[in-house]
């Protein structure tokens, strides 16, 4: 209990000191701090939203892949996976199957015999449909990642600029007073350190999250390509 109280007291003291530092900082430093804090908050919100999105996509993709490889008939796969709306891989298959079914039924109604080159034509149509859907699904998964990448890249440089700015002001103060007393340069050095710290606080989570989500995105894309390739092979082998 005593340790908790001490920790709370120390945290409050640190918070007050930080608030005092920000209060005494120049307008330019405050603008940089505001930008870094805003970027950090937005990044955390994106990270939370993308984590939920990717988690649901991974769960449903695993279910879809299991059904796909256990069922030989495409219509069975389509029927059993129609409810997996969060999976990009399932969506790619659904787009391909819809194109396959619509084209086949349309040609059968017209009395067109689906053999030889017609099978290849259907396969080409299905391939285009799945490629389009893959592009759409990848874009949905990529939404927000560019902001994380920008935050991870730009925040350290904003912090570095604040560091240089604070050190320059410290040297200017030394030039004015002719002495390097702690009281004269401490506020400027504080500006330098605070902006550096906030730059890293914004950049590190954004960088880690971007790399994590990018790896997951690549995995989804590869899985969709594998399913699409096997789907097309099934069409060609079965002669529709």
**What pLDDT is recorded for position 174?**
72
d(CA 174, CA 159): 23
**Mean pLDDT of the chain, nearest integer:** 83
Dihedral of alpha carbons 185, 186, 189, 191, sign: negative
For 78-200, list the strands marked E by DSSP: none
Residue 57: which of 92, 85, 34 has the closest Cα?
85
**What pLDDT is recorded for position 39?**
95
Tokens of 184: 């004269």
**What pLDDT is recorded for position 25?**
62
Tokens of 187: 């506020």
- b/e string for 56-87 if b means 16 or more Cβ within 10 A? ebbebbebbbebbeeeeebeebbebbeebebb
User: What's the pLDDT band for 180 if we cut at 50, 70, 90?
Assistant: low
Residue 134: which of 142, 146, 144, 122 has the closest Cα?
142
Global pTM?
Answer: 0.80
pLDDT digits (tens, 9 = 90+) for 78-96: 999 999 999 999 999 999 9
pLDDT digits (tens, 9 = 90+) for 10-36: 445 544 455 555 555 677 878 888 899
d(CA 143, CA 46): 9
User: What's the pLDDT band for 195 if we cut at 50, 70, 90?
Assistant: confident
**What pLDDT is recorded for position 74?**
87
Residue 125: which of 100, 101, 107 has the closest Cα?
100
């Amino acid at each position: 209990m005593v340790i908790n109280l001490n920790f709370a007291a120390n945290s409050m003291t640190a918070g007050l000191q930080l608030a005092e530092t920000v209060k005494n900082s120049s307008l330019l430093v405050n603008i940089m701090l505001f930008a870094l804090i805003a970027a950090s908050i937005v990044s955390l919100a994106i990270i939370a939203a993308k984590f939920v999105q990717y988690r649901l996509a991974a769960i449903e993709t695993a279910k879809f892949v299991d059904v796909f490889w256990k069922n030989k008939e495409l219509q069975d796969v389509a029927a059993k996976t129609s409810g997996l709306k969060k999976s990009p891989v399932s969506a790619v298959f659904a787009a391909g199957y819809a194109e396959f079914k619509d084209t086949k039924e349309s040609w059968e109604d017209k009395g067109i015999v689906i053999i030889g080159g017609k099978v290849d034509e259907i396969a080409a149509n299905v391939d285009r449909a799945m490629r389009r859907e893959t592009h759409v699904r990848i874009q949905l998964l990529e939404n927000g990642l560019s902001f994380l990448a920008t935050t991870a890249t730009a925040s350290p440089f904003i912090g570095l600029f604040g560091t240089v700015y604070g050190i320059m002001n410290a040297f200017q103060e030394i030039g004015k007073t002719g002495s390097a007393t702690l009281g004269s340069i401490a506020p400027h050095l504080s500006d330098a350190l605070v902006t550096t710290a906030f730059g890293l606080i914004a950049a590190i989570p954004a960088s880690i999250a971007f790399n994590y989500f990018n790896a997951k995105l690549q995995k989804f894309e590869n899985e969709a390509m594998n399913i699409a390739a096997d789907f097309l092979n099934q069409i060609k082998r079965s002669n529709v």
